[in-house]
Amino acid sequence: RTQLEFKERAELLETSKIAQKIFKISLEKKSNLCVAVDVDTADKLLDIAEKVAPHICILKTHIDAINGVTDSTINDLQLLAKQYNFLIMEDRKMADIGNTVKLQYKKLVDWADLVTVHSVSGGMMLKGIQEVINENTDHCRGVFIVAELSCNGNLISEQYIKETVKIAEEYKDIVAGLVCQSHDVISSPSLLQLTPGVNIKNTNDNLGQQYQSPSDIILTKGADIAVVGRGIYQDDNPAEAAKVYKESLWNTYLERVSNS
Ligand code: UP6
């Protein structure tokens, strides 16, 4: 998987529409950077979003952690996404029973192109989301399933990872890929590997996060898309930082596929 170019992977028959869309944007913008905008106010969200917009393929939010978000904030974010050609992902990491997840997802489906889910409650949760996606066919939507976490001390086991991959295969039509840390989790080239825990300056925080460099994450860990949060939005110049991360990540991706 890791040696194949995005273009070839997008053209595979089993690649979902939402994964195709991510590959396409990534190739158009020469960017495999997802920025996590974990700020605390709606104004800061829009400010950072505008600054990083030209350099990203996905903008990731934890909207429930941001104060003052209104319909107009979401509207402005969507306008930016359209203007600068990126997708919006709400990193809710949903984890409840199918019916509850379905109710929660109905509140996100209007504005989030992508959402994240934990696989802990099994496939029925994906079924709930699939039903909502199939009722909203105006544009393409999907999910990333968390198979591994970047923080130390997390409780995910080998067995859990294997079962998570099975669920991803079962709901392939709506799954863009997996959130994970190592390249051997995903064998299918039609699924994307989204990997958080990337920072050029730091190796950890004081709450368990573990960081790696852009080249580690792309070359050694096999990530297709890297998630960068504090490394960009806490920088004195987030626009420039986003450009630096984007170029470093994309060049490493090019190096990886040219080695094949
Ligand atoms: N995230 C992780 N690790 C995971 C899954 N998700 O860090 O295994 C998310 C966090 C945060 C972002 O919720 O939004 O990725 C990482 O931000 P940071 O670069 O500021 O640490």
Residues of the chain where predicted confidence (pLDDT) is lower than 70: 260
Instruction: Report yes or no: 207 and 11 within 8 Å, Cβ to Cβ.
Output: no
Q: Is 44 a catalytic residue?
A: no
pLDDT score for 248: 97
pLDDT score for 91: 98
Rounded Cα distance between 186 and 190, Å, is 9
State pLDDT tens for residues 172-183: 999 999 999 999
Using only the alpha carbons of the chain, give its radius of gyration: 17
Inter-axis angle of helices 42-52 and 238-258, nearest 10:
50
Would you say the C-alpha torsion 206, 209, 215, 216 has a positive or negative sign?
Answer: positive
Q: Is 93 a catalytic residue?
A: yes
78 is in an annotated binding site: no
Q: Is the CB of 228 under 6 A from ligand 1?
A: yes
CA of 124 from ligand 1 middle (Å) equals: 25
Rounded Cα distance between 232 and 215, Å, is 16
Report the nearest atom of ligand 1 relative to the CA of 209.
21
Instruction: Report yes or no: 57 and 27 within 8 Å, Cβ to Cβ.
Output: no
- Looking only at the bridges linking them, the beta strands covering 225-228 and 192-196 are parallel
Report the nearest atom of ligand 1 relative to the CA of 228.
19
**Mean confidence (pLDDT) of the chain:** 97
Q: Which value does ipTM take for this structure?
A: 0.99
pLDDT score for 259: 77
Q: Is 246 a catalytic residue?
A: no
Catalytic residue among 96, 106, 127, 216: 96
Q: On the CB side of 40, how many CA atoms lie within 13 Å of its CA?
A: 0
Structure-block tokens of residue 193: 């590997």
pLDDT score for 260: 65
Q: Give residues with Cβ within 8 angstroms of 238, minimum separation 6.
A: 48, 51, 52, 232
